[in-house]
Amino acid sequence: MENLNETIDKNYFYYFPNNFGGMTILYIAFRIASWIGFTDYYAIAMNGLLATLAILLTILICKNLFGVNKSIWVLSLFLLSPSFYTFAPVFYTDSLSLIFPVLTFYLYLQYTGSTTNKKKLAWAILIGLAVAIGALVKFTVIIVLFAIIIYEICSKRLKAALLLTYAVD
C-alpha cells in the first residue's frame, strides 16, 4: 500500500463515484479475508460465488414460475453462455451487483407467496435491504423495485405497492 499514490489517481472516485460502492464491498471482503488468513485470489472466489448464487436464484425463480423442466432449460443456457465464465476474475460493478436484482425478484416471489401480514412485512424489509445494498454497488438495481411496484399498481394491489415502497424508504 506504500505505492498507492503512484498507481491510483487520487481523484478517481471524484470522477467515477458509481464505483465507490463496489470498492467498499471489495474492501470489506478483503478485510474479512485477511482476518481469516486468505491473501490471494479471494476476490475472484467471492465474485464467482456471487455469480453462482445469482444463477442459482434465477433457476429457483424459473422453477417457481414455470416448473422444473423450464428451470433445467435455463440452467443449460447458463452452462452454455461463455459470458458467465468470465464473471469471476473481473472486478466491476456489473459482476458485483448481479445478484441484487435477481435476489430482489426472488424475495418478491416469496413475498407474494406469504399468507400472513408479518411474513409479508419481513419479506418487504428484506426486499428493501437487498435493493438498498445493491443500489450502493450499482444504482440501476433499483429498476427491479420500480418494476415490481408498477406491477403491483397495475394489478390493483395498491397496499402492497405502498408497503414495498415504504420498505426501501
Q: pLDDT band at 84, cuts 50/70/90?
A: confident
What does pTM read for this prediction?
A: 0.80
In a domain, 114, yes or no: yes
Rounded to whole angstroms, what are the CA distances from 26 to 19, 37, 49, 123, 140?
A: 11, 16, 13, 27, 19
At 15-26, the pLDDT tens digits run 777 777 777 877
Query: Mean pLDDT throughout 39-48?
Result: 74
In a domain, 163, yes or no: yes
Q: Which cell goes with 101?
A: 436484482
- Would you say residue 63 has pLDDT above 90? yes
In a domain, 5, yes or no: no
Give the best-scoring range by mean pLDDT among 1-15, 20-34, 36-50, 135-149.
135-149
In a domain, 72, yes or no: yes
* Count of the separate structural domains present in the chain: 1
Q: Which cell goes with 143?
A: 429498476
For 25, the domain range is 10-168
In a domain, 1, yes or no: no
- Would you say residue 155 has pLDDT above 70? yes
Per residue in 45-72, is it b (16+ CB within 10 Å) or e — as a string?
A: ebbbebbeebbebbbebbbeeeeeeebe
DSSP result, 29-78:
HHHHHHHHT--SSHHHHHHHHHHHHHHHHHHHHHHHHH-HHHHHHHHHHH
